[in-house]
Amino acid sequence: MRSIGVAIALFALWLLMSGLYYKTLVTGLGAASAIFAVYMVRRMDAVDGDQLEINLNPFKFFTYNIWLFGEIAKANWAVTKLIVSGKPLNQHLFYTPYTQRTDLAQVIFANSITLTPGTISVETEPGRFLVHAVDFSESDHEALADMDARVTATEGGA
């Protein structure tokens, strides 16, 4: 049953958040609150058949995150230099296409664009994002296409 799994997950989260007291009363109250939350949600009829599909390859997603941290570090350094040096900005709005199939992967791509300082995804349209760059150069197109390919690679098969 999914409800039992949800209750166990809630209780595990409660244990992580509150710390292990090893007191029967406190722990029991935590377990009771987890079970009560699940009972309440069931009564509200919110547990429907709608399942969230996560179409991600966990290993590839992990390595993608490591790569993303590197990109964030590089971009941070670039924007920091831009702030400190005070050279004139070269702002630009441009479109970048995306090739992800699932909503989740598209969100990951758009959020990755925004997470790396220097570029912000402004608007989503079918097949492409509108991106604002603070210090635009022609190589930004290639960099974003590279990131797009990497996000698409994290999508699981089928």
Largest CA distance in the chain: 64
Nearer of residues 38 and 68 to other proteins, judged by Cβ = 68
Nearer of residues 125 and 146 to other proteins, judged by Cβ = 125
Does 141 help bind other proteins (rule: CB under 8 A)? no
Does 137 help bind other proteins (rule: CB under 8 A)? no
CA 49 and chain centroid, separation: 24
Q: What tokens appear for 68 in the block?
A: 């993303």
Region from 33-41, 56-64, 85-93, 147-155 binding other proteins, contact rule CB under 8 A: 85-93
Q: How far is the CB of 132 from other proteins (least distance, A)?
A: 6
Q: Identify any residues that bridge with 95 across adjacent strands, giving them in sequence order.
A: 130
Q: How far is the CB of 149 from other proteins (least distance, A)?
A: 20
Q: Which of residues 107-126 bind other proteins (CB under 8 A)?
A: 110-112, 114-118, 120-123
Q: Which of residues 24-63 bind other proteins (CB under 8 A)?
A: none
Q: How far is the CB of 118 from other proteins (least distance, A)?
A: 6
Residues forming contacts to other proteins in the complex (CB under 8 A) are: 16-17, 19-20, 69, 72-73, 76, 79-80, 82-84, 86, 88-94, 110-112, 114-118, 120-123, 130, 132, 134, 136
